[in-house]
Structure 1
Amino acid sequence: MLERPYLFIDGQWLAAQSGEHFDVFDPSDASLLARVAAAGRADVDLAVRAARRAFDAGDWPRLGGRQRAAVLRRIADGIRARQDELALLEVRDNGKPLPEAQWDIADAAGCFDFYADLAAGLDDDERAVPLGDARFRASVVREPVGVAAAVIPWNYPLLMAAWKVAPALAAGCAMVLKPSELTPLSALELAGIANDAGLPPGVLNVLPGLGSEAGAALVEHPGVDKIAFTGSLPTGSRIMQAAAREVKNISLELGGKSPFIVFADSDIEAAVEWIMFGIFWNQGQVCSATSRVLVERALYPDLLQRLSEEAQKIRIGNGLEDGVLLGPLVSAGQHAKVSAAIAQGIADGARLVCGGKPPAGLEQGWFMQPTVFADVPLDCALWREEIFGPVVCVNPFDSEADALHLANDSEFGLAAAVMSADLERCERLARRLQAGIVWINCSQPTFSELPWGGVKRSGIGRELGEWGLDNYLETKQITRYESRESWAWYLKPGC
């Protein structure tokens, strides 16, 4: 068992003031993996005050962008130097297969490199704005928003931390990061890596703890200027209400029920590959998972057969075993939620094509077979609600207009995908799909350079790319009067 008895506050490893801890379990066998210090309200206050001092009186916000970039690059190098160790930790903490964890760690390092480049560009960020009055000269600058609170989910523990920490540090903010209580271990390692990279004390504080205690205290703290959250719609709604009381800057990346439209002229093997990648990657625990598949009726029976055949071939097991491409769900609670959604889908009349139960021989862990439903009623929870598991719903459509209507008929709008040999049709649909992200002839590719976020109830704001940096910057105009003539509104010359 791993012992993580400390929080990271103001550049120091400190015990929780209450002395309390919580347990973290290995989802592959439900064994106790780690005992972790549990931050409470007093610890949150200590961390926010440290971040406040670092921002208000420290050097970090006032350093040049190139100087901050150098630290971010050292953080990226520190992650790469420990890639194998961090990937192993992520597998044991989250359950994902090792190749996925290795991909995530490499992406996290790349994210810090990307924002290092953007940080360096802030040194030359001031922009002159032409005015219609020659007596004035104006420019616009961007400045860090202040102390940022980041609350991240359990599905990509280190990568989700990087998506928030890297742009916040690049902008010059100070941050308090609360990882999920289900997967806190790699965020604590990130704190140590950042400290070794020379990040000043108080600029990054990491507080593992329960959402109801540490998370609530953090988003409600008056010393926080900005809240960045990724997670469920209900929690995001509560955070939005808390932020409204003091009109805090927020960005929210919430749920999804993303559609994947497949036309009959698509290559069936390519379609099956991308459908499986879109829903079985990370055990379906992906906010953008393309969990609603719409297939043109002429292709529908053949695609269903091939999808069922290939889904049943996926090797399930401990993510550290060779060849495993589907690990366990993250927790007993998540396993129960997915199991209940499957049972309800069957009760509501959806046709179970394959899967739908834990695999034989893996009863100790929180495993679920890749599950395919067909002919799903459009008004049932299975079709409309986010499941966050390896469960895909497949329905037919008859026309492009039909497909577009079915795809957009959702309260969510995070992502969508369309597949066809007719690229003109794909481009046409891409502009009519109500989603912040649209993939053509693929599903789920994600790049640090591109914006990430949704419309409707999938959230507010964008992460990644230059838009992710904007989350942590405020825009300021600076206008000066340059004329030698007196303004002479109240004080008239000669009076």
Structure 2
Amino acid sequence: MYDNFGLFSGGSWISGAAAGDVYSPVTGASLGKVALASAAQTRAALDQAAAAQAALRAIGGFARADALHRAADEMIRRTDEGARMISLETGKPIAQAGREWVLACDQFRWYAEEARRIYGRIVDSRVPGGRFEITHEPVGVVGAFTAWNFPAALPARKLAPALAAGCPVVLRPSSQTPGVAMVIVDCLRAAGLPDGSVGLVVGSTADTYAPIMADKRVRKVSLTGSTRVGQQMIRDAAETVKKVSMELGGNAPLIIFDDADLEAALDLSVATKYANAGQVCVTADRFFVHESLHDAFVEGFTARAAKIRVGDGLDPETGMGPLINAGRLAEIEAIVADALAAGATLKHGGRRPAHLNTGHFYEPTILTEVTDDMRVFAEENFGPIAAITRFSTEDEVLARANASDMGLSAYAFTRSPERARRVTAALKSGMVGINSFALAASEAPFGGTNHSGMGREGGSEGIQDYLDTKLAQILF
């Protein structure tokens, strides 16, 4: 299934120095062999990107906008291919895969228009006859690193604003989901950007990450990944003083206040919690439910979770697919075992489905009577586990919700506009949803604070990380 692709450099698909297997999370079997780059091939892709800088900048924002719209048109034409590739490589239900592909298309549409809106400004100078001109220029070659859990949306969030700004990009997608990125890059190939504007390399850290980080021509790197990897990238970027933006881990609190619309909260939170088998950095991990609603919430949550069908994502009846690999499955089993040993109560799930003998499946799981110091609550679980606890007062729950180094997303359900404003202001998080989990949109800035990263993707803010600001004092 990867025969039409490979590595992408200088406007063409090329063979890799080696080949590696990509494995299905549904069956554990190989989906096919993908081209792997050598360090020399990564450096060659960087050479091509550096050579493309002048041409990509020279065509101007309007021509770049037209090219990004053509890329989006091609992606829409290939929606079925893209959604199927997402489902094959991640195991996520095909309907979820289709929505992700549409979200990725939307990034190219949005940033096509942002390419036309890279405005400068003029400021009067105190010097007689002078003025300040403030302009914005592309920062240079970009290295982009993406995770496996959203293999279309994450590359699109980096490729679209970088190209709109006039920056060539070398993309290194996850080796677990390379095919989705390949389809997107092939759509960009068809869009007619200058050769070298986009490169794609897949391979080991030594052969891909290390050459990108060491190259002083790479002026910006963008990462979606774990906090541990982000910390290492910051250290590595310091050697050549690269700009860095990153969206890292999360441990989102969800607060159900006593005046919440319980049915709406249940419908939305169950659907969101188990999307992509819980492997979503912005999903709710820590469920704080007011003591007056706790038992009813647990009962309703369990009833809904029990109806979710676990299976192959290509089956349209599937509501939740597998975890990405055996390591993630083992980690989820360990987190649940630790919680139960510490006194948590298992209300639902907590095991591999009996009817699925292959792949990396785990049942939608609900734990109650959890405490804030349990691993399932104190750390991001990144899996299909809803950990539920009670609270009594607003001050108490806000203090507990904020007791985390992470600050990516946070959620609350309440009918009170006044409380909604107070809670939004009090929560230490880059993004807050009130009676909603819908935070990811091309027109809105996406990102976190503290150990959840820096910079933003999406919205008019998203293009700023790919631009340098230049000041000129002009006297006549």
TM-score band w.r.t. shorter chain = over 0.9
Supply the distance in 2 between the matched residues of 1:8 and 1:464 (Cα, whole angstroms): 25
Residue type of the partner of 2:475? Answer: Y
TM, length-normalised to structure 1: 0.94
Q: Of 116, 121, 126, which aligns to 1:127?
A: 121
Alpha-carbon offset, residue 4 of structure 1: 6.1
Counterpart position of 2:10: 10
The one-letter code of the counterpart of 2:95 is P
User: What's 2:240 paired with?
Assistant: 246
- 2:312 matches 1:318: yes
Secondary structure class of the residue paired with 1:92:
helix
Asked if 1:359 corresponds to 2:353, the answer is: yes
Q: How far apart, CA to CA, are the structure 2 residues paired with 1:340 and 1:10? A: 45
Of 356, 369, 379, the residue aligned with 2:373 is 379
Matched residue SS, 1:476 = strand
Q: Deviations over 1:365-422 (max 9, x none)?
A: 1111111111212112111111111111111110000110111010100000110111
Conserved? CA contact 2:140–2:217, under 8 Å: no
For structure 1, the residue ranges without an aligned partner over 5 or more in a row are 483-495
**Contact residue 258 and residue 415 of structure 1 kept, 8 A:** yes
Amino acid at match of 1:51: A
In the alignment, is the contact (CA less than 8 A) between 1:97 and 1:318 conserved in 2? yes
Q: Which residue pairs with 1:460 in the alignment? A: 454
Stretches of 4+ aligned residues off by more than 4 angstroms = none
Aligned counterparts of 2:436 and 2:272: Cα–Cα separation in 1 = 8
Structure 1 residue 108 and structure 2 residue 86: aligned? no
Residue 74 of structure 1 aligns with which residue?
70
User: Kindly tell me: are residues 473 and 60 of structure 1, through their superposed partners in 2, closer, same or farther at Cα, counting changes over 3 Å?
Assistant: same
In the TM superposition, residue 89 of structure 1 has moved relative to its aligned partner by: 1.0
| 3-state SS in 1 of match to 2:223 | strand
Distance 1:2 1:198, change over 3 A: closer
Question: What SS class does the counterpart of residue 30 from structure 1 fall into?
Answer: coil
Q: Which of 387, 394, 418 is the matching residue for 2:388?
A: 394
Is the CA contact 1:148–1:173 (under 8 Å) kept in the aligned structure 2?
yes
Name the counterpart of 2:48.
50
The runs of 5 or more residues in structure 2 that have no matched partner are: none
State the Cα distance separating 1:195 from its structure 2 match. 1.0
Q: Secondary structure at the match of 1:59?
A: helix
1:329 and 2:323 aligned: yes
Note if 1:88 corresponds to 2:87.
no
Q: Hey, what does 1:490 align to over in structure 2?
A: none
Counterpart of 2:442 (choices 448, 452, 455) is 448
Distance in 2 between residues matched to 1:371 and 1:400, nearest whole Å: 27
**2:18 match:** 20
2:208 & 2:4 partners in 1: Cα distance?
Answer: 17
Contact 1:180–1:210 (CA under 8 A) maintained in structure 2: no
State the Cα RMSD in Å: 1.3
Larger CA deviation: 203-212 vs 294-303? 203-212
Over residues 153-210 of structure 1, what are the superposed CA-to-partner deviations in whole Å (9 max), with x where a residue is unaligned?
0011011110000000000000100000100001111222111110111100011123
CA distance in 2, matches of 1:302, 1:477: 60
Number of the residue aligned with 1:493: none
- Offset of residue 14 of structure 1: 1.6
Q: Does 1:160 align with 2:160?
A: no
Which range is displaced more, 344-353 or 356-365? 344-353
Residue 416 (str. 1) matches residue 398 (str. 2):
no
Distance across 2 between alignment mates of 1:109 and 1:35 = 27
State the number of aligned residues.
476
Displacement of 1:212 = 4.7
Look up the SS of the partner of 1:316 in the other structure: coil
Residue number among 478, 481, 484 corresponding to 2:472 in the alignment = 478
**If the length of structure 2 is used for normalisation, what is the TM-score?**
0.98
The yes-or-no answer on 1:342 pairing with 2:336 is yes
Deviations 1:313-338 (A, max 9, x none): 11111111122110111112221222
1:276-308 superposed Cα distances (whole Å, 9 cap, x missing partner): 133211111111111111111110111111111
**Contact map agreement 1:4 1:36 (CA 8 A) in 2:** no
Q: Distance in 1 between matches of 2:272 and 2:18?
A: 39
